[in-house]
Structure 1
Amino acid sequence: MHKYLFIFSVLIVGICFSCGDQSLDEISTPMGEEYIDGEAGIMMIDTFSVKLSTVIRDSVRTSQSGEALVGSFNHPDFGQIHSDAVFRISSPGRINIDEDDVYDGIEFCIKYNDYFLGDTTVTHSFTIEEIESDLKDMEKDQKKDDYFYNTTRVTTKRILGEYTAVPKVTNSDTIKIPLDDDFGRELFEMLQNNDDNITVASDFYDYFKGVMLKSNRDINQSVIGYNVGDSCCIKLLYHTTLDQRIDKEVEMKVEANSIYQFNSIEVDRNGALLNGLIDQEVSISSEDTNDKCFVQAGTGIYAKIDFPGLERAEQLPALNQIIKAEIVFLPLDYTEDDFNDFPNRLFVYESNRKNYLGEVILASNNSDISYMYLYDNAVDEEEDEYYTVDITNQFVAEFLDGIYDDDFSFLIGLSSSDMASKLTTISFGGHNNADFQPKLRLYTYYY
């Protein structure tokens, strides 16, 4: 900061806020070196105060991610998190099974997808349960749209199987979980009899409404990701008894790309640092959360940045002298708690005082997304890793009329696909955190 005191003093002498009748196109025109005389230069100002807080969205769409999140995890900041996966099973259609063919067994097949959150060195357990809720009816009752959300809850009618093991999240082999033989024989006999309840898709969905992978909340210390793709299915095993034994199988695949595939995520924040995070319109200042703010996919947590320092707009340089405006966030290290690595990029959304999740912000060409990228190089030789995003377009547009609107704010979060399929977590230093303080930086010409 000290090395900028001289150029900032120059700025205070000559600065004025003069947006007048300038249009956005005029202001956005870049000024090259030919516009700067020998006495001119570029200065950076980072003394405008910002305010960080944590907010939550009422619900997060988790349908059609193709990934199942299963498990439980407890953390002093976020509370107890439980995730169950729900999906429908496709009808196998008509299968020619002879009356003399013999049932051998039934199993559920699924693969890890390399994702996890928490301690994977201890036992992980979940049950495979037949759901009782009619997903089709639930879809019709949706008030928002045709999708399902992290807040969607279903009931189950019976346990079909259970999986308990120390997870090997990098193992690409298929996990085969035995299911209840009474259930298996029931399906086998229906196929032998060409019963419409299994051979006709619409009838099958009425008969067998789907499956939930339900976390064992008493055991689990991690949330594990599973791939709900082509290899995920219920497999019916049998053999023929003619001239020689021939082993056969019938696959009933999971509807991976269906809206009926979603992750149901519950959070209990009682006693946690974020226990006040219950309403979308409530912002919890980083002052009240140990000088930290947070982002978490799956549960709908976003970091919010406001700019109270911009109320003193008369201290801003002329808009056509602004080269760049950027936000810098410094992440706090969670790796010791078995959290994820820092994501390479975050999304920045327009917002307001009610924490509305607006459009993702765009770059100066108004077509490319302006991401908040992670950088490993030092900032001013002080920080090891930091996030930064260019907000020049949004900053200049905000001040075209010369009036600061205190609604001017942004939400920082993950992509919609990450929100649906992960619990990726990151925390940033708050506005009073001396070592990890966020900054608004303006780069401007001086003459």
Structure 2
Amino acid sequence: MNWRSFTYILLIITAVGCSQEDQESSVGDRWINSSTRILLFDTLTLKSSTLKLDSLIVSGSNRLLIGQYTDPVFGKIKSKSYFQFLPTHYSIDSEAEYDSIAFILRYDGYSSNDTLFRQKFLISEVTQELKPHDQFYYNTSNYTTSTDILSEHEFSPRPGSKDSIHITLDKQFGEEIFKNLQSKEITNSDNFLNRYQGLLVEPGDSGTAILGFSKNSFLRLYYTNKEELVDLEETLDLAVIQGNTFHNTSASLTTDILPDLPPQLESLPSSETDNRSFIQGGTGIATKIEIPHLKSLEDIEGTGSMIEAQLKFYLNTSRDEAIRPVKDSLRLFIINQRNEVLGDVVGYHNQPTVAKIVEKEDEFNSVRYSVSLKKFIDDKINEYDGDNWSLLIYAPDLTTSVDAFELFSEGAEKEKKMKIEITYAIYNE
């Protein structure tokens, strides 16, 4: 039997525990009296903080976010969407008569915050060329629009339905499109996009929710073909150009907890945010976790090896789940000293490393997650530039939701404290 097998047997038959909560050192000092000694300690220093990614690529997202509400931590959360369209055909009978134009917005099932109240959407025409920056649209991308409002539409949201929102637009706007198609002033996609860049849909100031919509939304022209015996009601759809349709999502960050966040190169320590760190989809707000003293493992006397390293952290569940959902798992990523994402944290078989729920603490309004970081720590110690690596946790649906999470930090009270537990075997002293 080799030392590793013997070690695992000892772990199974022995309940080993060592916790020195008041000590901020790198290693503990309680040992098993055995020829192979197993050390379990949870006093390795962690540093958690909140950072904001400068921008998120939203090109390619299938969901569009529109709406706003006020969050107790992040301030006013607002999302607006830019749409670009093309007619499905360019032929309208010369005798046809225009009726109206409508925007058909299809729900995709997502919502955040309170959908019981009526919402208002404002629609205006984009006047600047919709062109991506460096081939991408970002959550910070903005384009000029007309001051004229094509529609102010109030409605009661039904995000869980398979229904859609039918928004009647300004009659003259639709009539102009109709006449340009009917008179052959516009006969192809280039003609159309030279004249019509798209539409912006944004929320009114009194909104209480953000809603998700499908890119299968469309504009619809209604008109009548005059026939000898009966008038035929016809429609012409203008389909969304998915590559040039995207949303812009922001957080005002005007609360006492998060009055602002520094540029991406820096992060805000949890000690300055009530011993919590924060995550939010759509806006790029994420939690950074540093493990600065791994070299101290080399100070342990004797020949040994790290058997396991488990990161444990707690999610604050005291707020309304409508704005603080609980996810079964959260993925971890590696960032460098400039807080740039290098890639996924992976296991020994190259599988993504995922923090999973292991316990719900109703008494303390928290949910505990746990994840193995053994390979990450091995790589951090041994790989070139590993000293500069940290962990990042951001929202599972990073660009397609505004889901937010609050993590208790390493400075939180004992029952909620973020920590890393190291199991270390000494097999030759």
1: CA distance, partners of 2:382 / 2:161:
55
C-alpha deviation, 1:364, in angstroms: 0.6
Cα distance in 1 for partners of 2:234, 2:303 equals: 73
Runs of 4+ in 1 over 4 A off after TM superposition: 38-43, 315-320, 376-379, 381-384, 403-406
Q: Are residue 146 (structure 1) and residue 135 (structure 2) matched?
A: yes
Give the count of matched residue pairs: 405
* Mapped contact 1:78–1:272 kept (Cα < 8 A): no
CA distance in 2: counterparts of 1:438 and 1:11, whole angstroms = 17
Q: Identify the residue that residue 83 of structure 1 maps to in structure 2.
A: 79
Distance 1:305 1:227, change over 3 A: same
In the alignment, is residue 391 of structure 1 matched against residue 342 of structure 2?
A: no
Contact 1:348 1:372 in 2 (8 A): yes
Instruction: Give the drift of 1:11.
Output: 7.6
Residue 100 of structure 1: how far off its partner (Å): 2.3
Q: Residue 159 of structure 2 corresponds to which residue in structure 1?
A: 169
1:407 maps to which residue?
Answer: 388
Partners in 2 of 1:5 and 1:419 — Cα distance?
37
Deviations 1:95-142 (A, max 9, x none): 2x2222222211100122222222212221111211011113xx3xx3
Give runs of aligned pairs for residues 48-447 of structure 1, distance below 5 A. 48-95=44-91, 97-136=92-131, 139=132, 142=133, 145-157=134-146, 158-196=148-186, 199-216=187-204, 218-229=205-216, 232-242=217-227, 243-256=229-242, 258=243, 260-315=244-299, 321-333=305-317, 335-336=319-320, 338-366=322-350, 368-376=351-359, 385-400=367-382, 407-415=388-396, 418-434=397-413, 435-445=415-425
Q: Is the 8 A contact 1:428 1:436 kept in 2?
A: no
Alpha-carbon distance between aligned partners in 2 of 1:125 and 1:11, rounded to the nearest angstrom: 58
Q: CA deviation at 1:41?
A: 7.6
How far 1:298 sits from its partner (Å)?
Answer: 0.9
Please report how far the alpha carbon of residue 275 of structure 1 lies from its aligned counterpart in structure 2 after TM superposition: 2.1
Q: Is the 8 A contact 2:366 2:416 kept in 1?
A: no
Assess if the C-alpha contact under 8 Å between 2:48 and 2:288 holds in 1. Answer: yes
Q: Deviations over 1:361-407 (max 9, x none)?
A: 111113x211223344679x999622222221121122348x99652
**Alpha-carbon displacement from aligned partner over 1:400-438 (angstroms, at most 9, x marks no partner):** 48x9965231111135xx222211110100111013211
Q: Which structure features the higher share of strand residues?
A: 2
In structure 1, C-alpha distance between the alignment counterparts of 2:125 and 2:382, rounded to whole Å: 58
**Is the alpha carbon distance of 1:397 and 1:103 closer, same or farther for their aligned partners in structure 2, counting shifts above 3 Å?**
same
Query: What residue identity is the alignment partner of 1:88?
Result: Q
* Displacement after TM superposition at 1:46 (Å): 1.7
The alignment partner of 2:344 has SS state of coil
- CA 1:314 to 1:41, structure 2 compared with 1: closer, same or farther past 3 Å? closer
Question: TM-score normalised to the size of structure 1?
Answer: 0.82
Matched residues in 1 for 2:80 and 2:119: separation? 13
Return the alpha-carbon distance in structure 2 between the equivalents of residues 13 and 233 of structure 1: 67
Deviations 1:40-89 (A, max 9, x none): 58653222121111011111111221211111222231122221111211
- Name the aligned partner's letter for residue 254 of structure 1: V
- Pick closer, same or farther for the CA change 1:105–1:165 going to 2, 3 Å: same
Alpha-carbon contact 1:319-1:396 (below 8 Å) kept: no
Deviation at 1:14, TM superposition (A): 7.0
- Partner residue, 1:5: 18
Deviation at 1:355, TM superposition (A): 1.7
Change (3 A) 1:318 1:135: farther
Amino acid at match of 2:237: E
CA contact (8 A) 2:56 2:399 kept: yes
Q: Please, what TM-score do these two structures have when normalized by structure 2?
A: 0.85
- Deviation of residue 290 (structure 1)? 0.7
Aligned residue in 1 for 2:7: none
The percent identity for this pair of structures is 25
What SS does the corresponding residue of 1:287 show, helix, strand or coil?
helix
Moved more, 334-343 or 178-187: 334-343
Check conservation: 1:305, 1:410, Cα contact below 8 A: yes
CA distance, structure 2, for counterparts of residue 60 and residue 223 of structure 1: 18
In the alignment, the residues of structure 1 paired with residue 261 and residue 292 of structure 2 have an alpha-carbon distance, to the nearest angstrom, of: 22
Shift in Å, 1:178? 0.6
Q: Deviations over 1:299-341 (max 9, x none)?
A: 1111011123435333558896322222111100154273142
The residue type equivalent to 1:70 in the other structure is I
Q: Matched residues in 1 for 2:303 and 2:82: separation?
A: 52
Q: Which amino acid aligns with 1:275?
A: P
Q: What is the aligned-residue RMSD (CA, Å)?
A: 3.1
Give the 3 Å change call, closer, same or farther, for CA 322–209 of structure 1 in structure 2.
Answer: same
User: Could you tell me how far apart the structure 1 residues matched to 2:43 and 2:201 are?
Assistant: 51
Distance 1:11 1:126, change over 3 A: closer
Separation in structure 2 between the aligned mates of residue 152 and residue 246 of structure 1, nearest angstrom? 43
Does the CA-based 8 Å contact 1:110-1:175 persist in structure 2? yes
Deviation at 1:179, TM superposition (A): 0.9
Q: Using a 3 Å threshold, how does the CA distance of structure 1 residues 42 and 207 change in structure 2: closer, same or farther?
A: same
What SS does the corresponding residue of 2:343 show, helix, strand or coil? coil
| Superposed CA offset, 1:19-53 (max 9, x none) | xxxxxxxxxxxxxxxxxxx9758653222121111
